[in-house]
Amino acid sequence: MITLPPRAQMLSAFLASDSSAEGIFFVGVKTTGIFCRPTCPARKPKPENVEFFATPEDALLGGFRPCKRCRPMDAIRPTPTLVDQSHESPSGFRDAFATTFGRPPSQARSADCLLARWIETPLGTMLALADDAGLHLLDFLDRKGLERKIHAIRDTLGRAIVPGDNPHLDATEAGLAAYFAGSRLTFDIPLIPLGSEWQRTVWDHLHTIPPGETKSYSRMADELGRPTASRAIGNANGLNYLAIVIPCHRVIRSDGSLCGYGGGVWRKQWLLDHERAHAPFRLRDVNP
């Protein structure tokens, strides 16, 4: 079952035509009987006339018809072309793979490549990239800048990216299932984040924040011995493409409010609420 964000957050995203909400929810307008994408250019209705749905099918079952302007039944956003090359048949895929790598897909694990998997979660589809060394990327498929990150990983490592199976991908999928079920909020997966020494220092420090707790950017800066580096910590968090497993969502402003999250602030709020609800009893928020 797909979990929708809180109504207030969806309404705010809809009224702002927030592109990060694309594919997350659809909007039914009671006065017109149509449903739209969150970014529909049509005039915004009054909040009391809005109903939200997780999928176009749900909106259709609710009695709404698709908007002709924003065409909500069309594909939401193309999957990054680097990891979703389409072929008309399985044999076509095998031929293309063999031409590129000199071996069939059945031998993909012996090729020098990163393996990709799409993982469905209550907050949307995530993309994972891994090899035998560990997990290189895990993020929401609608994340802005995702394709640039995929390019960076591919070009820096000199590795091709293809769909495939890997024990670390299996562990990631199982870990996410346990996380969203609330039975386990930590992960035991080798991580290989691509970043500078400073960024990796920040990301490592994020693991000191237990599930169910938060820290402010300024508190993290103090703990890292750079009290004026709050903004630099925020920038490093913004470049974390190992969502959830490197818990940048646990960092908040000193006043307790939320700000920037690559997957959308509504996801950040959902993750924090989820962890607070399922974490073992403890002092839930660290003094900022």
pLDDT at residue 144, rounded to an integer: 80
Q: How far apart are the first and last CA of the chain?
A: 35
> Which member of 36, 40, 67, 70 is catalytic?
36
Positions of the chain with pLDDT under 50:
86-90, 93, 97, 100-103, 110, 283-288
pTM exceeds 0.75, yes or no: no
113 is catalytic: no
- Residue 28 CB burial class (10 angstroms; 0-12, 13-18, ≥19): buried
pLDDT at residue 102, rounded to an integer: 47
pLDDT at residue 244, rounded to an integer: 97
pLDDT at residue 259, rounded to an integer: 82
Q: Are 190 and 134 in contact (CB under 8 A)?
A: yes
Residue 16 C-beta-side C-alpha neighbours within 13 Å? 11
248 is catalytic: yes
Which pair of tokens denotes residue 110? 């012996």
pLDDT at residue 76, rounded to an integer: 54
pLDDT at residue 100, rounded to an integer: 46
Domains and CATH numbers, the chain: 7-66 (3.40.10.10), 115-288 (1.10.10.10)
pLDDT at residue 154, rounded to an integer: 86
> Which member of 40, 70, 113, 248 is catalytic?
248
Across 58-150, the runs of DSSP E, i.e. the strands, are: 65-66, 113-121, 124-131, 134-140
